[in-house]
Structure 1
């Protein structure tokens, strides 16, 4: 666990935001049960949150490259929670779509700026960035438990209670904002990037981004439909599906920690590509293995998809060292959002055929990620800081960042 207090607070705040990215998928079974939505209609809610987040996140990333926007952290946290909290209040499908889209906008605004601040706090450390990413993954993992605890108790009408993590998360950002204000005029920090030196490798960045898209399709597809699929595979009820979703998200927390640790023994590209290759096998197990054993493959799939999580963020930042906000916004936006674009397609296939048939193409996604990543160059790891850059980081350390 890092001793850096602002990084710990950022990680906790990240959890409070990402709980809402997991909450939309976790609420899908309840929308189906209470409002009789079809698979396609329910997955449209995931699309609404994902589409706006995917489109807006790179925009916010480019914005933070031009100037820091630390006030976005508390504001976007509340916005993300408010959208999900209001989604269960109205029975109107268009209003529900609007609410989850509002939540997607909040998470889109949060991630690029938080990743910029986390990069300053971590001084480029893979392990520290792993802890920051872990916070978000734990938020994902907590989502099905939070939603089940609230909505399963009193129905969708109790969804306003889901705003509580957002309120907590916004308060946690306040000490970080105070620390940022003490940095003064350090050029690298105030300019939105930590010593933005070096040449941008756009070709490698685009290939990495395409791999992230494939990863996102696999993960969002699983998170949207795994609860229904496991209920069919095991013959269980709603609890069996909720447990599967929890395992999927909790495995992500394990994968995030494992990935940042492995990057200190092998280069990031090797760790990421190997993980994707193994994940293709794990996804096949989820789709085809019957009975309780499916839970083990759900866990392996999640671990395999999350080992690359924080490593892809630092790779993207190192491929675009002068566009850290843009790299963070695009990578995080694609990683957690763009897969929602495929969800209605998967839902439509499931309505027309079966869930197993609809989920089978997801096996190919991590394999495609492996093909795209395996030949990428490993960017140079930042070495000892010298001169003005060292002074800027020492200034950040003295301020608590």
Structure 2
């Protein structure tokens, strides 16, 4: 009996890299499908004559759907994990993708985007749970592997614009149904592992009551979660400004073509992929709170400088900003999971979902401000947002988080 328990403990501590890479690949497919939407912005602006505000509403629908529903699906998955929701979510995204590629009606486009957002809302909290279960003792690394797939998928948006949508237009989106099918196949494999892991856990001795999820949170933990959400809010608004509108700033103020502007956006997003991947292991070594602080406060001087530099300085600044500010993406998820370890799905959905949701609100507001004032005004406004990172020092240290959960 003791040897069996020891074996189970060893298995629990081991990092299951095969599953981590599979869920990361699925995350890449999921977010590549979402990346189709902002990638289509320059095409919709020309072919359908959409305003910046209307483009902002498209971003709002997909991101807010994902934001509002992620914590909801996370809450129910905490109570009753459902492994095969993962491929079902990808199926919903594929249905929305088909509608997005075929419709020329603005409101039907919004409906199609809603389905893509709903599929993403199902995927993300369950995907974070799988990464947590497969992490063993390397939670920062595991979450980075998982999140880097999604960030790489998002980074492909400008590539899609430059090499697919400029040539094939809106119908180029239909080619991504093959990506969705690959994602469904990969998620079936992940779901089978997830189901087996749940069955194994059912027979392990349970030291804690299942009613643990109903224990009210301490006020200090609630305050820390609220501040963490605020920091995610600031980071998300900056990313929304860059991802949705900086390409128009490059076109209008620097005279670049649509295709040239996509290269700059890709560099920013690809640097974010590298930052996401390295942020987790660095947080394992130097602390979650320290990396969250450095990712925002460290990027602030560069973001403030960006709107005023000549075109030759944009690429090196963009690379550094993307790398630094995104290095906390996976770290904020792990920090939240360690704040509230009994509600992994809900807090994962809250942090990742809130990132999408606040990006959605930001996209609408920034698009409206761009219509009222100018794209440059919006870029200057966005450049100040990382300054909020100084409030990171109000978060409890990693050691204090462990003490709070031990009380």
CA–CA distance in structure 2, aligned partners of residues 332 and 120 of structure 1: 17
Question: Do residues 348 (structure 1) and 368 (structure 2) align?
Answer: yes
Aligned partner of 1:318 among 314, 338, 349: 338
Higher mean alpha-carbon deviation, 233-242 vs 101-110, is at 233-242
How many residue pairs get matched? Answer: 378
TM-score, length-scaled by structure 2: 0.87
Alignment of 1:105-254 (within 5 A): 105-125=118-138, 126-183=140-197, 184-187=199-202, 201-254=221-274
What's the counterpart of residue 256 of structure 1?
A: 276
What's the counterpart of residue 396 of structure 1?
A: none
CA–CA distance in structure 1, aligned partners of residues 126 and 38 of structure 2: 25
Higher mean alpha-carbon deviation, 374-383 vs 177-186, is at 374-383
CA–CA distance in structure 2, aligned partners of residues 77 and 50 of structure 1: 16
CA–CA distance in structure 1, aligned partners of residues 263 and 357 of structure 2: 23
1:11, 1:131 within 8 Å by CA — same for their partners in 2?
yes
Tell me by how many angstroms 1:109 deviates: 1.0
1:18, 1:137 within 8 Å by CA — same for their partners in 2?
yes
CA–CA distance in structure 2, aligned partners of residues 339 and 35 of structure 1: 24
What's the counterpart of residue 355 of structure 2?
A: 335
What's the counterpart of residue 36 of structure 2?
A: 23
CA–CA distance in structure 1, aligned partners of residues 107 and 294 of structure 2: 42
What's the counterpart of residue 99 of structure 2?
A: 86
Q: Sort the Cα spacing of 1:54 and 1:382 in 2 relative to 1 into closer, same or farther, 3 A.
A: closer
Aligned partner of 1:5 among 18, 41, 52: 18
Question: Do residues 371 (structure 1) and 386 (structure 2) align?
Answer: no
1:50, 1:339 within 8 Å by CA — same for their partners in 2?
yes
Tell me by how many angstroms 1:285 deviates: 3.0
CA–CA distance in structure 2, aligned partners of residues 258 and 138 of structure 1: 13
What's the counterpart of residue 391 of structure 1?
A: none
TM-score, length-scaled by structure 1: 0.88
2:29, 2:179 within 8 Å by CA — same for their partners in 1?
yes
Tell me by how many angstroms 1:382 deviates: 11
Q: Sort the Cα spacing of 1:354 and 1:382 in 2 relative to 1 into closer, same or farther, 3 A.
A: closer
CA–CA distance in structure 1, aligned partners of residues 182 and 95 of structure 2: 13
| Greater per-residue helix proportion | 2
CA–CA distance in structure 2, aligned partners of residues 188 and 64 of structure 1: 19
What's the counterpart of residue 51 of structure 1?
A: 64
Structure 2 residue runs of 5 or longer lacking an equivalent are: 1-14, 403-407
Q: If you compute each CA radius of gyration, which structure gives the higher value, 1 or 2?
A: 2
Tell me by how many angstroms 1:319 deviates: 0.6
Structure 1 residue runs of 5 or longer lacking an equivalent are: 384-401
CA–CA distance in structure 2, aligned partners of residues 331 and 188 of structure 1: 31
CA–CA distance in structure 2, aligned partners of residues 57 and 180 of structure 1: 19
